[in-house]
Amino acid sequence: MIAVATSEDELAGLCDRLRSLGIGSLEVVKPSDTRRVVLGTPDDGRNEVDLVVMLQAEGAMAVTRPDSGAALQAWFRDTRPVVFGGRLSVCQAWSTHDRSGLSGLIELGPGGFGSGRHPTTRQLIQALLTRIEGGERVLDVGCGSGILGLCALKIGAAGVVAVDVKPEAIQAAQRNAQINAMSDRLQATAADLGDIDATFDVVLANIARAGIVELAPELVSRVSPGGWLGVAGISPSQCSQIVDFLRPLEEIERRTSGEWSSLILAKAESWAP
């Protein structure tokens, strides 16, 4: 079966397109006031993965989904919305889970790492929840789906620049900004960090040890005096070494969840280059 997320406005056009591809029998699920998810199975046994690849290339938020049984139950379990402390929730746009009662909902289409389930993403979202006060300018390095920047905006940040080395991540972050009505506040770019000529109140980088070490001088220099840097994707044993690479920032928080650690490091108000 395939599942395709859309809006009420685009529902009729999507259904026409799916029928033209030989998916005659369609079920429309309404998981929220605004989200529509269309479910269907190709009548002619056509390969669903190929169909999804084609639909995604056309810009559709399409995924494959198990039809029934234990695989479908597992899929429902694994695609449940992720709730962060009653202020933020993250849900895949193509999920059929009921969104009512979810606070601060961010929806994500397919593409780009970051659904809110991985511990590294969760650690930086928790840091945002405790530290964002409102009005911050945020740099999201290695944005993947754009999840960190979108969460920051949802809880009060003023604007986000999101960078990634992968074109598909830039596309995903741009579309996710659009479906969450945040395109005017999130700029996604493939630019080198060295070409971003600005400093930010908050810099986030969930890019693993090697990426953090490689980009350490740029990460440090992009933090405004009085601002902070959050890094994730490192093991507990790598933390001290990473702190050394990121001097003169000062470690102010360390989170560990199983094999993953994250660090928050602050830049002094009095910092001068």
Ligand X SMILES: C[S@@+](CC[C@H](N)C(=O)[O-])C[C@H]1O[C@@H](n2cnc3c(N)ncnc32)[C@H](O)[C@@H]1O
In the complex, the residues that contact ligand X under the rule CB under 6 A are 113-114, 120-121, 124, 141-144, 147-148, 163-166, 169, 206-207, 211, 215, 233
Of the two residues 147 and 203, which places its CB atom closer to ligand X in the complex?
A: 147
Kindly state the smallest distance separating residue 7's Cβ from ligand X, in Å: 25
Of the two residues 74 and 165, which places its CB atom closer to ligand X in the complex?
A: 165
CA pair distance 174, 257, nearest whole angstrom: 30
Of the two residues 31 and 233, which places its CB atom closer to ligand X in the complex?
A: 233
Kindly state the smallest distance separating residue 75's Cβ from ligand X, in Å: 21
Kindly state the smallest distance separating residue 54's Cβ from ligand X, in Å: 24
Of the two residues 63 and 143, which places its CB atom closer to ligand X in the complex?
A: 143
Please give the residue whose beta carbon sits closest to ligand X in the complex.
142
Of the two residues 226 and 236, which places its CB atom closer to ligand X in the complex?
A: 236
Kindly state the smallest distance separating residue 207's Cβ from ligand X, in Å: 4
Kindly state the smallest distance separating residue 73's Cβ from ligand X, in Å: 26
Kindly state the smallest distance separating residue 13's Cβ from ligand X, in Å: 30
Of the two residues 6 and 174, which places its CB atom closer to ligand X in the complex?
A: 174
